């Protein structure tokens, strides 16, 4: 696990100039790099990536040794405050297929690295801008974090207990924006292949939050008021999260049909002929009575055994898993979704691996861990840009490479 190269991966030969910061942008390029793209991360000693610094708000008091979304990436230093560094950044872009950034709208342009600037050096560039609110519109200058994307986009409002406040979205919101950005970037790459033209992909993280409530937005657009269902489902009962014999060991259950209900009733020894519960409409109408019954049924059960038993009869059940459960799961290991990683200065640990399994192309997943700052300059500045050792030493002395 030490080569950043992935000659057999689906995106072998695709190169990304990666200017992204924070969580969503780096996760996007992380996914593409896991799929085989060569991703050149551009940072500097004065503006290093967040994981290289302490982060008190999250309770991390020193730099991280391992960062999930930096794996596979190549690292070079460029001090983008220097005009010469901008020239070098442009040369990296011109040697790449994709340039990705996640600054506030306008920052890349001010640096001289906007889409129009970069198109001059690479006329078929795929340029990804990922931001809170998008590159246009009255709110485009708003900065934000995952909880704000959820709030603006409506997902926070729609999530929550029916009688409670809205719910704060966390990293999954950033990373969902990252997946959407990655797939849109791939679509643009296909378009370039077909047309030979450049493209500017503009992803707004708050619009990803809105896309997650697309059904509720259809209702709202027709003047209806979508309901916040909490853990309930408007078309399924029973449907919920139930306490079991062990504290904080919850069983999740979703019954989609009458046949599934009858099988559940049989496992639990309930009267399957209770007419109140015979049909979906009946179960929805008598949801509270049904829930009270199930709360009693599950209160003393072993959640893990119950989930397995219900799965055997074709009822959708699963324990509410914490990260220890996930770390210990043979299924996720077998799929490579959870994988063991290590490096000379990083003891063995678990990481989230390949996004999917591919039958023909190999090398998908984590191939090398967090790069040290500037560790790939020999390759990028030397081999790709053709700068010799002397030229690089000079650029370093003048703090262009910093």
Q: Which of 105, 89, 111, 97 lies closest to 202, judged by CA? A: 105
By beta-carbon proximity to another protein, the closer residue of 24 and 111 is 24
The smaller minimum CB distance to another protein, of residues 95 and 350, is found at 350
Q: What is the DSSP letter of 229?
A: -
CB of residue 395 to another protein, shortest distance in Å = 30
Helix 258-268 × helix 303-312 angle, to 10°: 130
State residue 25 phi and psi, 5-degree precision: -65, -50
Tokens matching residue 261: 């209900």
Query: By C-beta, is 69 or 88 nearer to another protein?
Result: 69
Residue 26: CB atoms within 10 A of its CB come to 29
Q: Rounded to the nearest whole angstrom, what is the least distance from the CB of residue 389 to another protein in the complex?
A: 35
CB of residue 88 to another protein, shortest distance in Å: 26
Surface-to-core class of residue 168, CB atoms within 10 Å of its CB (0-12 exposed, 13-18 middle, 19+ buried): middle
Shortest reach from residue 120's CB to another protein, in Å = 15
* Cβ-based nearer residue to another protein, 257 or 391: 257
Q: Quick check: 93 and 17 in contact, CB under 8 A? A: yes
What is the spatial distance between Cα 215 and Cα 306, in angstroms, rounded to a whole number?
33
The Cα 42–Cα 27 span in angstroms is: 15
From CA 77, how far away is CA 396, in angstroms rounded?
A: 9
Q: Which CB atom, from 168 or from 399, has the smaller least distance to another protein? A: 168
CB of 180 vs another protein, minimal distance in Å: 5
- Whose Cβ is closer to another protein: residue 353's or residue 374's? 353
CB-nearer residue toward another protein: 78 or 307? 307
Nearer Cβ to another protein, position 172 or 245?
A: 172
Round to whole Å and give the CA distance between 43 and 373: 8
Distances (CA, A) of 11 to 3, 34, 69, 184: 15, 9, 17, 15
- Give the helix/strand (H/E) hosting 30: helix 24-34
Residue position matching structure tokens 């299924």: 331
Q: What tokens were used for 389?
A: 């050792």
Nearer to another protein, 88 or 133 (CB): 133
**How far, in Å, CA of 183 to CA of 97, rounded?**
15
Nearest-approach distance from CB 128 to another protein, in angstroms: 9
- Nearest approach, Cβ of residue 277 and another protein (Å): 18
Do residues 177 and 100 touch, judged by C-beta distance below 8 A? no
| b/e 291-330 (16+ beta carbons within 10 angstroms → b) | bebbeebbeebbbeebbeebeeeebbbbbeeeeeeeeeee
Nearest distance from residue 96's CB to another protein, in Å? 16
At closest approach, how far in Å is the CB of 348 from another protein?
Answer: 9
Compare residues 72 and 176 and give the one whose CB is closer to another protein: 176
Minimum Å gap between C-beta 63 and another protein is 12
């Amino acid at each position: 696990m030490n080569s950043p190269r992935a000659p057999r991966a689906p995106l072998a030969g695709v190169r990304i100039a990666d200017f992204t910061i924070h969580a969503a942008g780096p996760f996007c390029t992380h996914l593409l790099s896991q799929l085989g793209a060569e991703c050149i991360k551009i940072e500097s000693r004065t503006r290093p990536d967040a994981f290289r610094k302490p982060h008190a708000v999250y309770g991390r008091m020193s730099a991280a040794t391992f960062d999930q979304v930096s794996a596979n990436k190549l690292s070079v230093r460029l001090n983008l405050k220097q005009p010469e560094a901008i020239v070098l950044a442009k040369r990296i872009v011109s040697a790449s297929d994709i340039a990705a950034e996640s600054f506030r709208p306008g920052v890349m342009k001010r640096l001289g690295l906007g889409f129009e600037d970069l198109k001059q050096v690479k006329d078929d560039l795929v340029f990804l801008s990922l931001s809170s609110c998008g590159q246009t519109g009255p709110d485009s200058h708003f900065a934000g974090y995952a909880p704000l994307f959820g709030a603006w986009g409506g997902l926070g409002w729609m999530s929550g207990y029916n009688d409670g406040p809205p719910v704060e979205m966390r990293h999954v919101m950033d990373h969902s924006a990252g997946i959407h950005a990655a797939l849109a970037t791939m679509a643009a790459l296909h378009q370039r292949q077909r047309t030979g033209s450049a493209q500017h992909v503009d992803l707004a993280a708050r619009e990803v939050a809105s896309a997650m409530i697309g059904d509720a937005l259809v209702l709202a657009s027709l003047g209806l008021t979508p309901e916040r269902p909490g853990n309930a489902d408007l078309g399924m009962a029973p449907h919920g999260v139930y306490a079991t014999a062990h504290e904080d060991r919850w069983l999740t259950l979703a019954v989609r049909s009458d046949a599934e209900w009858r099988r559940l009733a049989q496992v639990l020894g309930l009267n399957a002929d209770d007419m109140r519960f015979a049909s979906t409409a009946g179960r929805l109408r008598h949801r509270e009575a049904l829930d009270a019954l199930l709360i009693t049924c599950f209160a003393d059960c072993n959640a893990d055994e119950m989930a397995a038993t219900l799965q055997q009869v074709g009822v959708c059940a699963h324990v509410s898993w914490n990260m220890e459960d996930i770390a210990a799961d043979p299924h996720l290991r077998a799929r490579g979704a959870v994988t063991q990683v290590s490096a000379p200065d990083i003891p063995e640990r678990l990481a989230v691996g390949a996004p999917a399994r591919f039958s023909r192309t190999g090398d998908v997943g984590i191939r090398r861990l967090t790069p040290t700052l500037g560790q790939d300059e020999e390759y990028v500045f030397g081999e790709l840009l053709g700068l010799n050792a002397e030229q690089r030493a000079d650029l370093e002395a003048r703090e262009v490479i910093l």
